[in-house]
Amino acid sequence: MEKKITVIQGDGIGPEVTKEAVRVLMSVAAKYRHHFYFDYQLMGAAAIDETGDPLPENTLKSAFESDAILLGAIGHPKYDGDPSARVRPEQGLLKLRKELNLFANIRPVKTYSSLKHLSPLRPDRCKNIDMVIYRELTGGIYFGEKRLKDDGSEASDLCVYNTSEIEKISFAAFDAAMKRKKKITLVDKANVLETSRLWRKVVKEVALNYPEVNLEFLYVDNAAMQLIMNPKQFDVILTENMFGDILSDEASVIGGSLGLLPSASIGHKALFEPIHGSYPQAAGKDIANPLGTILSVAMMMEYFDAPAEAQAIRNAVEWTLKNGFVTKDIDPVNFYFTSTIGELIADYISNEAPENVNTRNVKLGQATII
């Protein structure tokens, strides 16, 4: 297999976690005899600082010509603290999603038994959670017409959806459900929103093509409560852009750390990224959790129809967690560096790390196992 991958390191901790994901990809390539070609490009605050554009043309061109895009993180405080800024890092990401028609954002949420003590939920509620959220990504209120009165006294954001947008994400979610537990929960606000009523109508029509799938409906406010009260009831959650943004962030904390969760955005191309932000306070300190980015690479392997490679990455991640090889967000006292975790996972994939290891033999800052 030969694939070209556009690598957008982004801002803050983005370059650090992306470096470890690329290290893992190189380990996978060596073991399974693949060839991955990496084209590094700019986006976000780093791109604004260098070119004045949050999404330079070279980056967009590379993305169109690649087989997949790997993204670190986007955002910087100097823009976050200035809501009046006309050019912002997030504009690059939104434009990239639109240009590549990345209509489906896929966020798996899984809990690990070794980290159950970190979850804000009781152990009985967070045990064996395994769900995936399908969020529509290119429509809705984020992309609707925005208006602000000249005197600044009134503003509006238009939420628009059409049948084809809803159908595309729905078919993707139902296909996923068929490979899982054959259950979908549509989250909407159909009691008050016309767009949500259209979602229900279209999703019900799509469901006729999947008679084996059990389709349920929840209002978004109830869904937010149910994610905390009984998250194990969910398998595939299907929802619109803004609801999906909020609910997937809520679900992400169930496992105990934002740094653990990957995501994929699928359309004309496919983009893979961790769900966490750029966390600029940790930039350059080698303490960021790279697992969300590395697990995003596992999703990339599935996209490339390489399930064995994807499982090898996931096995390596579970091995690090089981043996206590974790970053500072998980264990503030006995933690390992970002680069150490990446090296350990790459070594495990290459069969250079033993299944059972004494963690005292792995020194802080290096992955050499004595």
Positions annotated as catalytic residues are: 142, 189, 221, 245, 249
- Cα pseudo-dihedral 217, 220, 105, 123, rounded to 10: -90
Alpha-carbon distance values, 149 to 86, 142, 153, 156 (Å): 17, 19, 6, 9
Amino acid (one-letter) located at 21: A
The closest of 226, 227, 260, 263 to 93, measured between CA atoms, is 263
Question: Residue 362 has which token pair?
Answer: 């792995």
Cα 240 off chain centre by: 16
Number of residues that this document lists for the chain: 370
Q: Where are the beta strands (DSSP E) in the chain?
A: 2-10, 35-41, 68-73, 104-110, 130-136, 146-148, 155-157, 183-188, 214-219, 236-239, 262-266, 270-274
CA atoms within 13 A on the CB side of 54: 20
User: What number of helices (H) and strands (E) belong to the chain?
Assistant: 13, 12
**Structural tokens at position 339:** 């680069």
Q: Please give the structure tokens belonging to residue 233.
A: 């009831």
Distance between CA 132 and CA 107 in Å, rounded?
5
What's the number of CA atoms in the CB half-sphere (13 Å) around residue 328? 10
Cα 170 versus chain centre, distance: 19
Angle at 15 between CA 14 and CA 17, to 5 degrees: 65
Distance in angstroms (rounded) separating the CA atoms of residues 188 and 59: 35
